[in-house]
């Protein structure tokens, strides 16, 4: 059975909306683990819009499953990763203006630079994954630069509104899973996966872990709202 890595970035997004201390992603990670998550994923962005350096450091101490750090392949981030030592680093492209990670890494365009980053991280004992589109050439390039894992960007599948397009995207994912396995890469997948579309991708064998964030945090807000309102009503009523 494939594993679930829970991305808790959006818990930090809510905290940053007020610049305060709650909700704390460290507490969210503990709850996710108690509920059965196999790993915790966070993205420390250059602009620190959600996850902060403090979160990464505390999560390194508290996460008991596996800590996966998504980050850009920059000197600053490599330095942070080598000092904090998450279990896994997933290298992602990063643009300042984007709302979320928009596409996969173009591994082919910067093979030497990426190979160096992969090696530095691996020398520090960190497993390295590359977030790529479901493109066979990117899979081959990921293998060539020495990555341990690829994470297949499932955004194009998740955004497909027509049945035919969705089937095509699923086939592309299936093909790169086969190719990646043949090349000895571990395979994860994520982005845009939700309670409706997960079944189709999970039915493809060979994917080790799904990284899911937005859908889980969105559901948590709605499922938890009833209880949160009742608790406040009681406090007012019995004051």
Binding site for ligand PXP (CB under 6 A): 7, 9, 43, 70, 90, 92, 100-101, 131, 151, 190-193, 211-215
Which residue, 78 or 88, is less far from ligand PXP as judged by CB? 88
CB of 212 to ligand PXP, least distance (A): 4
Which residue, 131 or 149, is less far from ligand PXP as judged by CB? 131
Which residue, 92 or 170, is less far from ligand PXP as judged by CB? 92
Which residue, 65 or 90, is less far from ligand PXP as judged by CB? 90
The Cα–Cα gap between 65 and 86 comes to 11
The Cα–Cα gap between 197 and 71 comes to 26
Q: Which residues lie below 8 Å from residue 1, measured CB to CB, with a gap of 6+? A: none
Phi, psi of 118 (to 5 degrees): -60, -45
Structure tokens at 39: 């790993």
C-alpha distances (whole Å) from 56 to each of 17, 61, 67, 87, 157 are 19, 9, 9, 12, 30
**Helix 9-18 with 214-237: angle, nearest 10 deg:** 50
CB of 192 to ligand PXP, least distance (A): 5
CB of 101 to ligand PXP, least distance (A): 4
The Cα–Cα gap between 19 and 13 comes to 9
Q: Which residues lie below 8 Å from residue 177, measured CB to CB, with a gap of 6+? A: 152, 187, 204, 205, 206, 207
The residue among 215, 210, 218 whose CA lies nearest residue 90 is: 210
Which residue, 35 or 229, is less far from ligand PXP as judged by CB? 35
CB of 103 to ligand PXP, least distance (A): 10
CB of 5 to ligand PXP, least distance (A): 8
Catalytic residues: 43, 70, 191
């Amino acid at each position: 059975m494939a594993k679930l890595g829970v991305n808790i970035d959006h818990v930090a997004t809510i905290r940053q909306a007020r610049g305060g201390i709650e909700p704390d992603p460290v507490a969210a990670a503990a709850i996710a683990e108690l509920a059965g998550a196999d790993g915790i994923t966070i993205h420390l962005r250059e602009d620190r819009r959600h996850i902060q350096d403090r979160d990464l450091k505390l999560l390194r101490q508290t996460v008991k499953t596996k800590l996966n750090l998504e980050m850009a392949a920059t000197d600053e981030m490599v330095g942070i990763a080598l000092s904090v030592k998450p279990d896994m680093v997933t290298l992602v492209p990063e643009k300042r203006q984007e709302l979320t990670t928009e596409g996969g890494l173009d591994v082919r365009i910067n093979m030497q630079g990426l190979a160096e980053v992969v090696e530095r991280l691996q020398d520090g004992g960190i497993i390295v994954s590359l977030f790529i589109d479901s493109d066979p050439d990117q899979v081959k390039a990921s293998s060539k630069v020495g990555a341990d894992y690829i994470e297949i960007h499932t955004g194009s599948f998740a955004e497909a509104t027509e049945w035919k397009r969705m089937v095509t995207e699923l086939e592309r994912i299936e093909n790169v899973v086969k190719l990646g396995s043949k090349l000895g890469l571990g395979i994860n997948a994520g982005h845009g996966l939700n309670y409706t579309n997960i079944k189709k991708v999970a039915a493809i064998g060979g994917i080790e872990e799904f990284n899911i964030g937005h859908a889980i945090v969105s559901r948590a807000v709605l499922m938890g709202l009833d209880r949160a309102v009742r608790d406040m009503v009681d406090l007012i009523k019995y004051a």
